[in-house]
Amino acid sequence: MAAFRWSAISAGGDVIRGVTEAPDRMIIVEKLQRQGNVVLRAEPADRRGRMAEWLQFDIAGGRRLDSARLSTFTRELAIMLEAGQDLDRALRFVVENAGSSRAGTVLAAVRDRVRGGSSLASALAGEPRSFSRFYIGLVRAGEAGGTLPATLNRLATLLEREQSLNASLRSAMVYPALLIVAAMISIFFLLDYVLPQFQPIFEQAGAQLPAATRTLMAVGHVAGTAGPWVLVVLALAGVLMHRALALPAFRLKIDGWLLRLPIVGRLLRETVAARLTRTLGGLLQNGVALIPALAIAKDAVGNLAATEAVESAALAAKGGTGLSGPLGATGVFPPRTIHLLRLGEEAARLPEMALKAADIHDEQARLMMQRLVALAVPSITIVMGLAVAGIVGALVTAMLSLNDLAG
């Protein structure tokens, strides 16, 4: 009898862990599944103890797959398995074509665990920084149902859509960010370098600079002198904010406030709804029960206020009230999300309707970001133009006053 350390999500949505002795790990997996649990991990328990296990996690913690390589790995593995290759050969292919030493190290570790007798889901669970609970849960369901190639294919599609949405949001913010930086640099250069050039000229003429020019020069002097300290203060504020956001109570307030903002909040709600429905639909489509699926999906929304809303909806759904009603009562998610989930429950097609809702929310988020950028770019340009025009006006005023003195 060997000892196996396992973790799973119970039918009530809670994460449970334990160490059980059994002749084979599949006996433990089958036993847990018969009890209505979604198995996340079941691996041999060594004798090194808990401290050694933490040390091993810390050593491996620096390696992870980014979202692009994760979707590529999933797509390539799905293609290889659909072509009839066995899992070991498919993993060898993706390891050889990893594209980077970091990705190769992660994937080689997964392959070695599979060769050692672990299932693919258990092997992936050994790399928690690269593979989420959602990912492992889908793979586990695909292995249990004998549909691993099709599951990986659907998972790759979900990851590619998520990556496409994130890339669209990031790329849409590049130009406004560059415009803001260029405007700040230009204004700082005019205030700190160009305007002070007039000071010696007026001193030689025995005249005083115009009030507007003196004010701008004072602002430039303060900016030049205090600029490094301002950067230090901003860096410290950023560190303090990062640490404060690690506190659940503070993070909950900030996330809730962000969702209530007039324009940005609506964009965030669309994005959060897309993540929830995409994760939930993918899990339900692969046979995961609703409550365990919600327990996994709540970690994918990326907003603590939304996570709390999903948790409260899951508690209500345990009593048989359904999902759409309790989720709508939280007021966090868009009405479109609730309506589509209600239609899915009524028609017994919740997985399909959840995935359709994710597609709609993705498109809405892209359109909203495009509108925001279309409004932000001219607004930033106008503000920058007014600031530069004010500085140039002060320069012209100073030059004209010199002409008046010469006359």
The string of pLDDT tens digits covering residues 309-318 is 998 998 888 8
User: Quick one: how far is CA 294 from the chain centroid?
Assistant: 18
pLDDT tens for each residue of 319-335: 878 889 999 998 899 99
* Domain shared by 304 and 390, yes or no: yes
- Six token digits for residue 284: 């339900």
Is the pLDDT at 125 greater than 80? The verdict is yes
- Please say whether the beta carbons of 125 and 137 come within 8 A: no
pLDDT tens for each residue of 366-402: 888 888 888 888 888 888 888 888 877 877 777 777 6
Residue 22 lies in a domain: yes
* Domain shared by 116 and 17, yes or no: no
Residue 385 lies in a domain: yes
Res 60: pLDDT = 40
pLDDT tens for each residue of 191-248: 777 777 777 777 776 666 677 777 877 777 777 777 778 788 888 998 888 888 888 8
Res 58: pLDDT = 38
Distance CA 316, CA 326 (A): 6
- Six token digits for residue 261: 């903002």
Q: Which helix (H) or strand (E) segment is 103 a member of?
A: helix 101-115
Residue 148 lies in a domain: no
* Domain shared by 193 and 215, yes or no: yes
Q: Which residue segment(s) compose the domain that 94 sits in?
A: 64-131
Any idea which of 40-49, 86-95, 268-277, 297-306 has the lowest mean pLDDT? 40-49
Q: Give 379's contacts (C-beta < 8 A, 6+ positions apart).
A: none
For residue 170, the number of C-alpha atoms closer than 13 Å in the C-beta half-sphere is: 6
Distance CA 186, CA 180 (A): 10
How many domains does the chain divide into?
Answer: 3
- Please say whether the beta carbons of 364 and 270 come within 8 A: yes
Residue 149 lies in a domain: no
* Domain shared by 7 and 100, yes or no: no
* Domain shared by 271 and 374, yes or no: yes
Is the pLDDT at 404 greater than 70? The verdict is no
Q: What is the mean pLDDT of the chain?
A: 81
Nearest Cα to Cα of residue 391 among 179, 184, 187? 187
When pLDDT is cut at 50, 70 and 90, the band that residue 47 belongs to is: very low
Portion of the chain with pLDDT greater than 70, in percent:
88
* Domain shared by 365 and 278, yes or no: yes
At residue 165's C-alpha, the angle toward residues 164 and 167, to 5°, is 65
Residue 103 lies in a domain: yes
Any idea which of 119-123, 153-157, 186-190 has the lowest mean pLDDT? 186-190
* Domain shared by 92 and 46, yes or no: no
Q: What is the mean pLDDT of residues 300-304?
A: 84
* Domain shared by 330 and 291, yes or no: yes
- DSSP 8-state class, residue 194: I
Distance CA 75, CA 52 (A): 34
Is the pLDDT at 46 greater than 70? The verdict is no
* Domain shared by 12 and 161, yes or no: no
Between 329 and 8, the more confident residue is: 329
Whole-prediction pTM = 0.65
Res 343: pLDDT = 94
- Please say whether the beta carbons of 268 and 258 come within 8 A: yes
* Domain shared by 391 and 359, yes or no: yes
Residue type at 392? V
* Domain shared by 313 and 359, yes or no: yes
Task: Tell me the angle at which helices 211-245 and 148-189 cross, rounded to the nearest 10 degrees.
Answer: 150
- Please say whether the beta carbons of 179 and 377 come within 8 A: yes
